Amino acid sequence: MKQLTRISLLIVPLIFVSLNISSCTEKTPEPEPEEKPFIFRAADLSFLPEMEEAGIKFYDSAGLEKEMLTILKESGLNTVRIRIWHTPADKHSGFNEVKEFSHKVKSMGLKVWITVHYSDTWADPGHQTTPSAWQGLEIMPLSDSVYNYTARIMDEISPDFIQIGNEINGGMLWPAGKYSNMTNLKALLRAGSKAVRDSKKDCKIMFHYAGTDGAEYMLQNLQSIDYDIIGISYYPNWHGKDLNKLQTDLISLSKSMFKPVMIAETSYPFTFGWNDWTNNVVGSQEQAHPDFPGTPGGQLAFLEEIRRISTSDKNLVGFAYWGGEWVSFKGPQANNGSSWENMALFDFDNKALPALRAFRP
């Protein structure tokens, strides 16, 4: 009997300990809440400093005079996109103007998104002209120039988002960085990306492509480069009028590239009339979308659909309106004024249009 008692006394504590271990391992930690992605409600306002310098006034929907940035922020805008040219023919879109404008945007509590054209003028699928200061450079010194220039933008402007190139369907910094020379193009993009990471690790890097056709194929070639967001331009006149295809393509792109995707540029006419003697880019319903008339209501309906599409999947992160500020500002007879005044977010009296409702939070 004494031996049995000793055995039972040894067994009981072991069972007790085993039960306690089991009860501890059954507890699972609480899952961390998933971080919500930033949703862009943005507009490219690159012409605004030039128009404010010219004394142009803007009015909210009630007819009250206010700064355009104030009107847009009150409507729900959260990000301002600003282009930068290396050595423009005049000061507009040059480094100093962009730096000053960016600081003003930040002071209003808005995000700054810099689109670096790496050119002295417009860069797009048909134009990627190397800045005059970099003409003739071999790929290594050209890459160094990209790095140093981008690093200066980061150090002095410190954007929240930055595009390495603008609509780079055909590459950038031609002829060295043409799409046909993928080795050089990667070197240039990698130099810009590294400059951002070396300066400000929390700044989000965007690669920007015009339209969806061919975007996945090109971006697959750039997978080795460090970037965060894919930006896609969408204009019905150039990129097709099938909005179902647009939505499907954006979702497919986000899944295949494992990146968030946004509509980085879009616009729509509120009229087919004009307010100066500068030829407008879109001047007829045939150039627009058949489902949306060129009226203030049609412009709003189009932008509401863009808003819906650009947030219809967890990996789609919003939109940016292009040229919303580009009203006719050089007088009714100007032939070098605005080719976009019928697609601005303000009417011919510079009064806010209903389309601003699409920027609501």
Number of Cβ within 10 Å of residue 203's Cβ equals: 18
The angle at the Cα of 273, spanning 269 to 276, to the nearest 5 degrees, equals 110
**CA torsion sign, 222 to 225 to 230 to 231?**
negative
Cα–Cα distance measured from residue 314 to residue 165, given in angstroms and rounded to the nearest whole number: 26
- CA–CA separation, 358 vs 321, rounded Å? 10
- For 159, 215, 320, the CA distances from 203, given in Å and listed in that order, are 7, 23, 18
Helix (H) or strand (E) holding 302: helix 296-309
Sign of CA dihedral 235, 173, 50, 319: positive
Show Cβ contacts of residue 226 under 8 Å, excluding neighbours closer than 6 positions: 190, 193, 194, 197, 205
Q: List, run by run, the mean pLDDT of 10-residue segments along the chain (361 residues).
A: 39 39 48 78 98 97 98 98 98 98 98 98 98 98 98 98 98 98 98 97 97 98 97 98 98 98 98 96 97 98 98 98 97 94 98 98 97
Domain spans of the chain? 37-359
Residue 36: predicted pLDDT: 82
* Rounded distance between C-alpha atoms, residue 276 and residue 357, angstroms: 27
Q: Which residues of 76-85 are buried (b: 16+ CB within 10 A; e: fewer)?
A: ebbbbbbbbb
Cite the beta strand spans of the chain per DSSP E. 40-44, 58-59, 65-66, 79-84, 111-116, 161-164, 204-210, 229-233, 261-265, 316-322
Residue type at position 159: P
Asked if 330 and 299 touch (Cβ cutoff 8 Å), the reply is no
Is the domain defined by 37-359 classed in CATH 3.20.20.80?
yes
Its sign, for the CA torsion 173, 178, 181, 186, is: positive
- The torsion angles phi and psi of 239, rounded to 5 degrees, stand at -120, 15
Contacts of 315 (CB under 8 A, 6+ apart): 37, 251, 254, 255, 259, 260, 261
Q: How many helices, marked H, and strands, marked E, lie in the chain?
A: 10, 10
Instruction: Please state, in angstroms and rounded to a whole number, the distance separating the CA atoms of residues 188 and 300.
Output: 39
| Helix orientation angle between 139-156 and 95-107, rounded to the nearest 10 degrees | 40
d(CA 290, CA 15): 77
What is residue 35's predicted lDDT score, i.e. its pLDDT? Answer: 72
* CA–CA dist 42, 287 (Å, integer): 24
pLDDT for res 33: 61
